[in-house]
Structures are given as structure tokens and as C-alpha cells.
Structure 1
């Protein structure tokens, strides 16, 4: 899982990021994404740039992590939560942009929370007019999800592995 834990630079946001399984304080979490399991398969979405991604996005003012995930799953994957949300870790980030992305967000430090949860796909994506254009939603084997998500970043296979391991009960249980 080396790539997931390497320091990263996200040029599009002027962001330096580092993944950790140490969870950030809730007030720093600006974005939430989910490795959604439909049975043993992982739900992935493809956008109009032909990039595969995991459902998730920016928290709205006053929105909880679970509310954000429920909204983003519906908008991007036509899916809903079907079990508890399990935080996996977060990208702890610092931006060099002079202003926050949205006025209600912390700045310059913030966190992107990554979670796992069981989900059910029960309709088409319902993205708002100003949202992402989702061309395709698939539920695929974890290894296939990791390969598809390489179109987004090279650390996604490690995140999928972490999510799969989070589903396995510890020995003796």
C-alpha cells in the first residue's frame, strides 16, 4: 500500500496531501468519498472525461458525513447506503490557494475522508445540472475497480485493498 501513503501534490487545487488512517476532526472534513460495496463488488462511476471515480464530493454547510455520502451516492451512482459507514482514513491536506474552495470550508488545512459502506444501486444517477456528468456506473470486482480507477490516480488500488480488508471480521469473531 505504498502509493496510498506517499505525499501527493494535487495541482488542480494547489493541494499537498498525505493519506493517514488517523481520522481528522470532523470540522476539517470538506470532502467525503465511499468505496461502495454492492455485494462483493465495488461501485465505480465514469465521467465525461473518461475518468473512473468513487462516488463522493464536497460537504454542504451543516451536512454530516453520512448525509453527504447519501446525497453523493444518489447523485453520482443512483445508489443508497445499505449499512453503516466505515471510515478508512483521510487525505490530510494543505492548500496554497489564498481562499477556501467554498466560504464555509476550513482553510488552508482540510481533509478528504475515505469510507467504505454497503450500498444498493436502485436507479440512474441523479446529478444536478451543475454536477458531474456521469456516463456509466458499474459494480465490478475489487481488482477491476482498482484497474479502472487508475485513470484517476495511481493510489486507488491501495485504497480498494484497504476497503476490502475493512470488511473482513478479525480472527476469533
Structure 2
């Protein structure tokens, strides 16, 4: 796994994520599936628009989230797409990058997570919006789901999440959104 292209400054270098008490570094390639604790998706509709979400608190993000115990990554993607975007996964996931995460916690965040190193992975997924977000009680309260052309999706995300914005652009430069 390599560092990303210099065109993506929000993805470059090491970052400390306070809420996770971890140091992260964005890397390209596919993380070992057993080490992935989170997955976010560049979800594409049939007209190749990117699915983006907005929470009741106003946060903009790509659909995805935390892995449950024993959950396969495809099942994680299916669950998070339904919960946050009301979308159905139509095919395989195409994993292309991740944040390599080195925790400073004494124990893993959840007992089934690898520790101290794990990965927060990114994948491209073909989807269809089939309903409203499920909004489970333990998740985000999603109030808006949009499908936008790639550059508009990146601009939309940039407001709150430059990392997710640049993940979309990185996927585009790799030719994954064609």
C-alpha cells in the first residue's frame, strides 16, 4: 500500500484523530479484510452519480460505518447503505484505499476489533436508491440523500469532510467511477 498522489493534501501525511485516539495515514490498495473496522463507500448510481448523505446535525458524508462482530465487508456495505442512504448494493465492492490506523488506546474500541493496528477502508459500490434511510437508533439521523455528479459530490462533501471529498476524487483519478 502506497501514499496517495500529492494532488490530495487532505489525504497526505499522518493525522491524529482525537475522538479515536489514533494516528492515521491514507494508503492506496486493499487492506486485509480481517483488519478493517470501518468501511465507507463511493456509491454510484446507474447514471454514475455519487450518493452523499447529510445528518440532522448538518454533517455531510459518504455512506458507511463501523463493522459488527463477525460481519463480512459486503454485509457491512449492504447494512450501511440501507441505514444511511436507503440504497441497495447491486454488485461487488471494489476496494481501493484505506486509512491505516494505529490506536493509542490500551484496549480496542470494540472487543472484536484488531488492535493496535486496523484499517478504515474505502470501496466503490454500484447501488440503486430503493427507499428512505432506515436511520436506526444507534446511527446517524440522515435527513437528506443526494445523488450528484462526481465533482459536485466532492464539492458538497468538502464543506464538512475534505477527506471524503478527496477519497471521491482519488477514486475518479483511478478510473473507478467511469
1:81 deviates by 0.8
User: Which contiguous aligned blocks of 4+ residues in structure 1 show a shift greater than 4 angstroms?
Assistant: none
Q: Which of 138, 148, 155 does residue 146 from structure 2 map onto?
A: 138
Q: Residues 101 and 152 (structure 1 numbering): CA distance in 2 closer, same or farther, change over 3 Å?
A: farther
1:122 deviates by 0.7
Question: TM-score with structure 1 length normalisation?
Answer: 0.91
Gaps in structure 2 of 5+ consecutive residues: 1-6
Counterpart secondary structure, 1:62:
coil
Q: Which of 4, 8, 11 does residue 2 from structure 1 map onto?
A: 8
Q: Which residue of 2 aligns with 1:54?
A: 62
The aligned runs of 1:141-160 (5 Å cut-off) are 141-160=149-168
Question: TM-score with structure 2 length normalisation?
Answer: 0.88
Q: Which residue of 1 aligns with 2:98?
A: 90
| Aligned-CA RMSD value | 1.4
Gaps in structure 1 of 5+ consecutive residues: 169-173
String of CA shifts for 1:95-145, please: whole Å, max 9, x gaps.
Answer: 112221111111111101100011100100012112111111000111111
Q: Which of 162, 168, 177 does residue 167 from structure 1 map onto?
A: 177
Count how many residue pairs are aligned between Structure 1 and Structure 2. Answer: 168
1:67 deviates by 0.5
The aligned runs of 1:35-74 (5 Å cut-off) are 35-38=42-45, 39-74=47-82
